[in-house]
Amino acid sequence: MPTPSTAFPPGFLWGAATSAYQVEGSPLADGAGVSNWHRFAHTPGRVRDGDTGDVACDHYRRMPEDVALMRSLGLNAYRFSVAWSRLLPEGRSRVNPAGLGFYERLVDALLAAGIQPMLTLHHWDLPAALDDRGGWLNPDSPHWFADYAQLLFRSLGDRVKLWTTLNEPWVIVDGGFLHGTLAPGHRSAWEAPRAAHHLLLAHGRAVQAFRAEALPADRQIGLVVNIEPKYAASDRAEDRRARERAEAYMNRQFLDPVLLGRRPAELAEVYGDGWFHASAEDLALMHTPIDWVGINYYTRSITAHDPAAWPLRAAGVRQPQATHTETGWEVCPAAFTDTLRWVRDRYGAIPQYVTENGAAFYDPPVAGIEGIDDPLRIDYLRGHLGAVADALRAGVDLRGYFAWSLLDNLEWAHGFSKRFGLVHVNFANGQRTPKASARWYADLVARHGAGL
């Protein structure tokens, strides 16, 4: 039989991703400070069923077991985030060496296992002490972030090659400041563009701090955004206009300033009176060159004009004939290829990583002796990795793929009710069981993607 060919280049990273608050547990261990997510989750009514990250996957204590698990699946990369409040309990100044020690041990264990770490500096959990000062609304927040980033560059820059400033700043803005569904839970069209502005400046300042370090030449830094391609629900002018607004708000709000040095004009319509002028100096800082861009893709959106949808006046139209995941997201692999091509066409030849892609489907809380059979997740992964292969064949410069997620974990305001893991977690005792999808992915990784 001829060997099936692979679209995946040599050196392609095959990984899985997690984030600190979603998996670690022990949020206050070894001198860590309180984070905004710890506080949010402990506020009644904020997270489904009152779930919190107090234990989560207990990864903080089971880290060696989890690294061994990744190795047994043959992964050659792992994307994780650092909990800012473990390193700097008050968010600034005083360093907690024990918090740093956890990430040093994690990175060392990964490297010893032949797994390349990709470190995210900020995946939504902000020290509560900084939140008390306004968090991302405070004009000093970009400096706080750059100082925190510098501490990590100096501590782990000798070992970590791939760095990410922010994970999905759009979600922080939309969930945290516009609609209030995520920490810190505000609802304001005045605050949202200001938080976005400071996040963009924080990103730029951290990249500049990175360049200022005498790190080995192969160290690289990028930004991770979530892209949900928008398609107009009809040819009507108001739907086409709604599509433009939705695309500007979700997909271009961060990438345009970072990669093109300008802000989408449509944001003025979205934020109305909340919109404000940005100086040329600020735009230049946001536009500091980065080495790669990370794309998180889950679904697409068919977008229609909707006057009731505040403040965007645009909303997704559910496609009844399509398959949807447990989070209600339409499964559409072709739109993933469109997304990766769109990033290349709009922003040029910057290298891309798929930093998250995956699906929540129902799995039972306890794995039986026969394990967990998750054919829907396998279908999702097969379709979406096929879409990645199509993008590679179309010439997109893609360097790696990270499945979301390594483990079932705390799905933010959904608590533990949505399972995205390749590996099942029994939240009553922490037991890990690789699902059928983990074995499917491991086989694909062993073949370097051949046959897709």
**What HEC string does 405-416 produce?**
CCECCCCHHHHH
Q: Is 19 in the site for ligand BGC (CB under 6 A)?
A: yes
- Main-chain phi, psi angles of 197, to 5 degrees: -60, -45
Torsion over CA: 111, 116, 119, 125 (sign) = negative
Q: Exposed e or buried b for every residue in 44-57, given b needs 16+ CB within 10 A?
A: eebbeeebbbebbb
Q: Which stretch binds ligand BGC (CB under 6 A): 142-150, 163-171, 210-218, 234-242?
A: 163-171
For residues 287 and 257, is the Cβ–Cβ distance under 8 A?
Answer: yes
* Per-residue mark of binding to ligand BGC, 210-239 (x: CB under 6 A): ----------------x-------------
Closer to ligand BGC by Cβ: residue 155 or 164: 164
Among 24, 58, 168, 174, contact with ligand BGC (rule: CB under 6 A) = 168
Q: How many CB atoms lie within 10 A of CB 126?
A: 25
Q: Which stretch binds ligand BGC (CB under 6 A): 107-115, 150-158, 166-174, 303-311?
A: 166-174
CB 249 to ligand BGC: min, Å: 16
Given the complex with ligand BGC, which of 37 and 148 has the nearer CB atom?
Answer: 37
Q: Which of 411, 421, 427, 449 binds ligand BGC (CB under 6 A)?
A: 411
Beta carbons of 261 and 284 less than 8 angstroms apart: yes
Q: How far apart are alpha carbons 52 and 32 in whole angstroms?
A: 16
Q: Does residue 337 interact with ligand BGC by CB under 6 A? A: no
Judged by CB under 6 A, which of 356, 363, 390, 408 binds ligand BGC?
356
Question: Catalytic residue numbers?
Answer: 168, 356
Spatial CA neighbour of 168 closest among 106, 121, 221: 121
Q: Which of residues 23-52 bind ligand BGC (CB under 6 A)?
A: none
Strand residues in 59-194 grouped as ranges (E): 77-81, 116-122, 162-167
Q: 172 vs 452, which CB is nearer to ligand BGC? A: 172
Q: How far is the CB of 356 from ligand BGC (least distance, A)?
A: 6
List residues binding ligand BGC (CB under 6 A): 19, 22, 167-168, 171, 226, 296, 356, 404, 411, 420
